[in-house]
């Protein structure tokens, strides 16, 4: 498997592909980062090789991803469309595709994951976060808009209707501890333990016989985990 890009640093270690977002201090989902994420997903779909687990984290300790780049909506939309064609010209459709890659996906979050950045984390199978430093939020209602790349759908499934309304309509930030309590994320851990925990879990999953999570040769590693009740099997209405 080969993958080269400018805004994501990658390394492959014993079945675990580490993808570190490195698009400036905010990691805005703009042209470069969306282009590179599309390329990463294309590579995993076309030639995953020995990749069993994909871990997405950030080079910035303060921002996992702040949001989309609102100054470049047409441009990043055009890049997202390359993941599925002109009829799929949305960030939501691309993140839906990310949620279906033939690998277990983990978001390791430090700093802020808000708006589109939070929706990127929600598209992953599991999210683990720094108790001291991670913040989650869907702030769009505060600007007169709605989350458009899966935030409403994922949060409703994970949190339940009432708590999802609180999260979306209230447009507030959630600490990692509260996000864990609500079911928004899988687990909040002390910052000093986060890296080791995710490294151990990812390596443990990758080290098991592939038949346990789905044979890579069948390109269906995680399909058994994704029923209509637990995944974005119905693509969300998305921001352009």
DSSP 8-state secondary structure symbol assigned to residue 199? H
Annotated catalytic residue within 13, 14, 132, 140? 140
Q: Where are the beta strands (DSSP E) in the chain?
A: 8-13, 16-21, 53-58, 63-65, 104-109, 112-114, 126-130, 135-137, 174-175, 187-189
Is residue 79 annotated as part of the catalytic site, yes or no?
A: no
Annotated catalytic residue within 13, 14, 119, 199? 119
- CA atoms of 75 and 21, how far apart (whole Å): 19
- CA atoms of 231 and 96, how far apart (whole Å): 9
Q: What angle do CA 27, 31, 33 make, to 5 degrees?
A: 40
| Catalytic residue annotation | 119, 140
């Amino acid at each position: 498997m080969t993958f080269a890009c400018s805004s994501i640093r990658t390394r492959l270690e014993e079945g675990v592909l580490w993808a570190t977002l490195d698009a400036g201090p905010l990691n805005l989902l703009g042209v470069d980062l969306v282009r590179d994420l599309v390329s990463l997903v294309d590579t995993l779909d076309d030639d995953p090789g020995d990749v069993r687990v994909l871990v997405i984290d950030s080079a910035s300790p303060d921002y996992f991803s702040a949001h989309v780049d609102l100054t470049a909506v047409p441009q990043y939309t055009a890049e997202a469309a390359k993941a599925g064609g002109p009829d799929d010209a949305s960030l939501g459709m691309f993140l839906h595709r990310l949620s279906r890659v033939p690998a277990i996906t983990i978001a390791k979050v430090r700093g802020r994951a808000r708006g589109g950045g939070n929706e990127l984390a929600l598209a992953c199978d599991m999210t683990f976060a720094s108790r001291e430093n991670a913040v989650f939020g869907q702030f769009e209602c505060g600007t007169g808009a709605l989350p458009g790349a899966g935030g409403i759908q994922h949060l409703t499934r994970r949190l339940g209707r009432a708590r999802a309304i609180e999260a979306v309509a209230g447009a507030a930030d959630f600490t990692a501890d509260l996000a864990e309590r609500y079911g928004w994320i899988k687990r909040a851990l002390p910052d000093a333990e986060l890296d080791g925990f995710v490294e151990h879990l990812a390596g443990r999953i990758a080290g098991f016989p592939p038949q346990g999570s789905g044979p890579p040769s069948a390109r269906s590693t995680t399909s058994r985990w994704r029923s209509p009740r637990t995944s974005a099997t119905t693509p969300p209405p998305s921001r352009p």
